Amino acid sequence: MANDPRDLLGAFLSPGITLTVQQNSPEVLERYVGIEPLTGPEGVKLSTIFTPMPKPNGVITSACQHPEEVFKLFDLMLSEEACLMGRYGTQGEDWDFAGDGDVSIYGTPATIRIINQLWNTTQNKHICQIGPYVSRPRFSSGVTWDGNTTDGEYMNAQAALLYNDHAPEETIGALIFTPEEEAAIRASRSMIDAHVKSTIVDFITGKRDIHDDAQWAEYVLEFEDMGLAAFLQTAQAAYDRVR
């Protein structure tokens, strides 16, 4: 919908604009700008902060006939050279190291100069970070800007800068549940997630009135029948273990 030429979508949430809007569509990209965190009751204005958890992006199965060779390939894919290729393409053709005095999209000294922007375009140069990969902030945060206001990385950087000063003082990282805890909360978590998603649609479409305090209170009360109290107790126990 974000790419529809009829301009149907007024706003959307996304980790990055080019994960929603195609990079090679400047006429669509220029319709959107990043907005800063909204101000809530009593002037509260916070941004969402999270630390991604490591995840397995390469698996060697028991049926693999050459596990050592595959392991070496995975290890190679984690190298700086391979990760730069896996994100930006071929050095000298699609990107190169920045020169002295180059400034990044964040206004800091640059490390990477994009020659041919490949992200979210049809290409056969890199694999969009699929597979074993290590993000290196000095490169991902050090891309130069060529003056193009519809460059996806530039737009993402400008949006991110609006959030930097609004991080909460306390944050909760990923909660690690025991197998027993996971089994106990699985049903409640699924119901709660589904309830939130469906009710968001109800409020957006007008099936429920977001301005009606009674309807909001009814929505909140519905969580109790989904085991919210037990879920919060289990989550608190998991949080206490890592404090």
Instruction: Give the span between the Cα atoms of 15 and 141, in whole angstroms.
Output: 15
- Mean per-residue pLDDT for 80-102? 92
Structure token digits, residue 41:
């009751």
**Its pTM surpasses 0.85:** no
pLDDT of 173 above 80: no
Instruction: Give the span between the Cα atoms of 24 and 152, in whole angstroms.
Output: 9
C-alpha torsion angle, residues 147, 118, 75, 63 (rounded to 10): 160
- Mean per-residue pLDDT for 177-189? 95
Got the DSSP string for 142-204? -BB--S-TT-HHHHHHHHHHTTGGG--SS--------HHHHHHHHHHHHHHHHHHHHHHHHHH
SS (HEC) of 46-61: CCCCCCCCCCCCCCCC
Exposure string for 114-150, b = 16+ CB within 10 A, e = fewer: beebbbbeeeeebeeeeebbeeeeebebbbbbeeeeb
Name the one residue in this structure whose structure tokens are 């700008």. Answer: 33
* pLDDT for residue 74: 95
* pLDDT for residue 15: 85
Which of 22-26, 83-87, 205-209, 216-220 has the weakest average pLDDT?
22-26
The model's confidence at residue 90, banded by pLDDT at 50, 70 and 90, is: very high
* pLDDT for residue 50: 74
- Specify which residues 96 forms β-bridges with: 113
pLDDT of 52 above 80: no
* pLDDT for residue 162: 94
The model's confidence at residue 189, banded by pLDDT at 50, 70 and 90, is: very high
Exposure string for 224-243, b = 16+ CB within 10 A, e = fewer: eebbbeebeebbeebeeeee
Instruction: Give the span between the Cα atoms of 243 and 238, in whole angstroms.
Output: 9
